Amino acid sequence: MVILEDTELDLEVDQIREYDKKYNMHSWSAQKELEPLVITKAQGIYFWDSDGKKYFDMSSQLVNVNVGHGNKKIIEAIKRQADKMSFMGPGYAVDVRAKLAARVIEKAPDNMSKVFFTLGGSDSNENAIKIAKMVTGRFKIFSRYRSYHGASFGAANLSGEPRRYTCEPGIPGFVKFFDPYIYREKIRFKSEREASEFYLSKLREQLIYEGTDSVAAIVVESITGSNGVIIPPEGYLQGIRKLCDEFGIIMVCDEVMAGWGRTGEWFACDNWDVKPDIITFAKGITCGYVPLGGVIVSEKIAKFFDDNVLMCGLTYNAHPLACAAGCATIDVYEEEKLVENSKKMGVILGQKLEEVKKKHSSVGDVRYIGLFSAVELVKDKETREALVPYGKDPDGIMPKIVGMLKKAGFSTYSHESCLMIAPPLIIKEEELEEAMDIFDKVMYSIDEFVEKLKNKRPFCGRIGHSKIN
Give tens-digit pLDDT for 319-336: 999 999 999 999 999 999
Examine the pLDDT at 467 and tell me if it is beyond 50.
Answer: no
Examine the pLDDT at 454 and tell me if it is beyond 60.
Answer: yes
What separation in angstroms does the CA of 318 have from each of 150, 258, 290, 313? 19, 21, 11, 10
Residues found in the chain = 469
Examine the pLDDT at 468 and tell me if it is beyond 50.
Answer: no
pLDDT of residue 455: 80
pLDDT band per the 50, 70, 90 thresholds, residue 462: very low
Give tens-digit pLDDT for 239-296: 999 999 999 999 999 999 999 999 999 999 999 999 999 999 999 999 999 999 999 9
pLDDT band per the 50, 70, 90 thresholds, residue 224: very high
* DSSP-based three-state secondary structure for 420: strand
> CA–CA separation, 103 vs 331, rounded Å?
10
Examine the pLDDT at 219 and tell me if it is beyond 60.
Answer: yes
Examine the pLDDT at 187 and tell me if it is beyond 60.
Answer: yes
> Is it true that the peptide bond before 458 is cis, omega within 30 degrees of 0?
no
Q: H or E stretch including 105?
A: helix 95-107
Examine the pLDDT at 11 and tell me if it is beyond 90.
Answer: no
- Region 287-307 average pLDDT: 98
User: Rounded mean pLDDT of the chain?
Assistant: 94
pLDDT band per the 50, 70, 90 thresholds, residue 7: low
Q: Is 170 left (phi over 0), alpha (psi -120 to 50) or beta?
A: beta
- Region 105-114 average pLDDT: 98
pLDDT band per the 50, 70, 90 thresholds, residue 135: very high
pLDDT band per the 50, 70, 90 thresholds, residue 9: confident
> CA–CA separation, 276 vs 258, rounded Å?
15
Give tens-digit pLDDT for 33-62: 889 999 999 999 999 999 999 999 999 999
> CA–CA separation, 295 vs 302, rounded Å?
11
Bridge-partner residues for 415, per DSSP?
418
- Region 112-122 average pLDDT: 98
All domains in the chain, ordered by first residue? 13-67+337-454 (3.90.1150.10), 72-335 (3.40.640.10)
